[in-house]
Chains A and B, each alone.
Chain A
Amino acid sequence: MATLRVELVAADRAIWAGEAKMVVAKTVEGEIGLLPGHEPMLAILASGEVRITLEDGAGIKASAEDGFLSIEHDVVTIVARHAELV
Chain B
Amino acid sequence: MGAQLRVYRQKIKSAQTTKKITRAMELISASRIAKAQQRVAASTPYSRAVTRAVSAVATFSNIDHPLTTEPELIERAAVVIFTSDRGLAGAFSSNVLREAEQLSALLREQGKDVVYYLVGRKAVGFFNFRRRTATQQWIGGTDLPQFDTAKEIADAVVAAFNTPASEGGVDEIHMVYNRFVSMIAQVPEVVRLLPLEVVEGVEAPSDSEVFPLYEFEPDVNKVLDALLPVYIESRIFNAMLQSAASEHAARQKAMKSATDNADKLIKNYTRLSNQARQSEITQQISEIVGGADALATVEED
Residues of chain A having any CB pair with chain B under 8 Å = 7, 9-14, 27-29, 32, 39-44, 66-68, 70, 72-73, 77, 79, 81
Contact = CB atoms under 8 A, between A and B. Distances in A.
A43 B217 contact: yes
Interface of B: 39, 42-43, 45-46, 49-50, 52-53, 56-57, 147, 151, 211-218, 222-223, 226-227, 230, 233-234, 237
Given A12-B39, A42-B56, A42-B57, 13 more contacts: A9-B45, A11-B237, A13-B42, A13-B45, A14-B46, A28-B218, A40-B212, A68-B53, A68-B226, A70-B52, A72-B214, A79-B46, A79-B49
12 contacts: A9-B45, A11-B43, A11-B46, A28-B222, A42-B53, A42-B214, A68-B223, A70-B52, A72-B211, A73-B212, A79-B49, A79-B230
B90 to A, nearest CB: 28
Nearest to A77: B49
Contacts of A42: 53, 56-57, 214-217, 223, 227
A14 B45 contact: yes
Contacts, number: 86
A44 B42 CA distance: 23
A44 B214 contact: no
A55 B81 CA distance: 48
B270 to A, nearest CB: 49
Given A11-B147, A42-B216, A77-B49, A68 B42 contact: no
Nearest to B145: A12
A81 B151 contact: yes
Nearest to A40: B212
A7 B147 CA distance: 20
Contacts of A14: 42, 45-46
Contact of B213 (A7, A40, A70): A40
B218 A12 contact: no
A60 B39 CA distance: 25
Question: Which residue of B42, B212, B217 has the most chain A CB atoms within 10 A of its CB atom?
Answer: B217
A85 B10 CA distance: 60
B223 A43 contact: yes
Contacts of A40: 212-215
Contact of B217 (A7, A27, A67, A73): A27
Contacts of B212: 40, 72-73
B46 to A, nearest CB: 5
Given A9-B45, A79-B50, A43 B216 contact: yes
B44 to A, nearest CB: 9
Nearest to A66: B230
B122 to A, nearest CB: 25
Contact of A79 (B53, B216, B218): B53
A16 B218 CA distance: 26
Contacts of B45: 7, 9, 13-14
A12 B215 contact: no
Given A9-B46, A11-B147, A11-B237, A39 B56 contact: no
B56 A68 contact: no
Nearest to A30: B217
Nearest to B53: A70
Contacts of A7: 45, 49
B218 A44 contact: yes
B215 to A, nearest CB: 4
A10 B46 CA distance: 6
